[in-house]
Amino acid sequence: MFTLSFAFKTSNRDTSNYLRHFLSINHKEKSMRKITPEEKFKNARAKKVLSAPVIDMERLLYDSKENEKLYEALVNAGFLYLSNHGIDKNLIQEIKRVSAEFYHLPASKRKELEDFKGNLIHDGSAFSLSPFAKSIEKDANIDIEYVDSLFYKYIGEITNLALRLVSFFEIALGLEKGRLLNRVEPHGVQNALCYERTPPKKWGVPGHYDNGFLTILMQDDAGGLQAMSKDEWFSIPPVKDTFVVNFGNMLEHISYGVVTATWHNVRNTSAPLRWSWPTFFGKWFLHIFY
Ligand SMILES: [Fe+2]
């Protein structure tokens, strides 16, 4: 897998500590929760499509039925699609274009981003991993400052979207204003991930819970995301002009298990390359033990 990764912040807190903390969370910590052993799902393949609710952000403002759908997504489905989210389509297209171009750059060029002191902190994973052997290196004329500023803009918009969404979580769950919102901080990690086709009996990404508060995922048309529901794997196919949202362990903890984190994996079996752009929103652990 090829990763282009940024840490971000939208307040004055030192994000580098957060990033170190976020990246130190490993699968051993996740396994402290009682989960079905991974081995059980080693060759798991989704046969059904998860009927995750499509939540219309605009309708949430005035339609109580949309709120009920959101409740259903939070409490039962574990995943939702977000439509009418308000993120500029041109910005989305540009993120996709630049990610693909960046992936093809020679390592020396990619290293320039690592050293670039811009708005974002670059964790170096785009540089420690080699692009796939079959990839073609093109000396595209990418302006590193532009890559940084483009992702910064995208992250800013996704962060605003996440905060709006969390305020609707409070309404859907019948919580007082700020109960969740005051506990999620706009710090996180933005990835641009590229997967090769997953070989038979292998994973693109093995089954796991996201450890953060929530994840907003933009994915391409390749598909391959799978989620576990009631001991069964379901595929979560791309739906045009939507983001996929799933809930992490922190939200499950804060909500006393009312919202459950969803076990999921990635297996790209349909396209030579699969791209996804997850934005992970976390929380300072010290703040959640209130
Ligand atoms: Fe995940």
Structural domain tally of the chain? 1
Residue 183 is predicted with a pLDDT of 76
CA–centroid distance, residue 8 to ligand 1 (Å): 18
- Note whether residue 184 is domain-resident: yes
CA–centroid distance, residue 4 to ligand 1 (Å): 16
- Note whether residue 289 is domain-resident: no
- Note whether residue 38 is domain-resident: yes
Residue 76 is predicted with a pLDDT of 87
Higher pLDDT pick, 13 / 46 = 46
pTM, rounded to two decimals: 0.82
How large a percentage of the chain has pLDDT more than 70? 72
- Note whether residue 253 is domain-resident: yes
**Three-state DSSP state, 24:** helix
- Note whether residue 288 is domain-resident: no
Residue 171 is predicted with a pLDDT of 94
Q: Judge whether 283 and 184 are in contact, CB under 8 Å.
A: yes
Average predicted confidence (pLDDT) for the chain: 77
- Note whether residue 290 is domain-resident: no
CA–centroid distance, residue 167 to ligand 1 (Å): 22
pLDDT band at residue 154 under the 50/70/90 scheme: very high
Q: What is the pLDDT of residues 42-75, one digit of tens each?
A: 445 556 666 789 999 999 999 999 999 999 999 9
CA–centroid distance, residue 182 to ligand 1 (Å): 24
- The phi-psi region of residue 178 (left if phi > 0; otherwise alpha if psi is between -120 and 50; otherwise beta) is left
Q: What is the pLDDT of residues 103-140, one digit of tens each?
A: 777 777 777 777 777 777 665 555 444 555 555 566 66
- Note whether residue 287 is domain-resident: no
Q: Judge whether 164 and 184 are in contact, CB under 8 Å.
A: no
Residue 189 is predicted with a pLDDT of 81
CATH number at residue 41: 2.60.120.330
Q: Domain limits at 152?
A: 2-281
- Note whether residue 11 is domain-resident: yes
CA–centroid distance, residue 3 to ligand 1 (Å): 14
The pLDDT of residue 287 is above 60: no
Pairing of strands 225-229, 2-9: unpaired
Q: What is the pLDDT of residues 193-205, one digit of tens each?
A: 888 888 887 888 8
Which backbone phi and psi does 251 adopt, to 5 degrees?
-65, -40
CA–centroid distance, residue 208 to ligand 1 (Å): 6
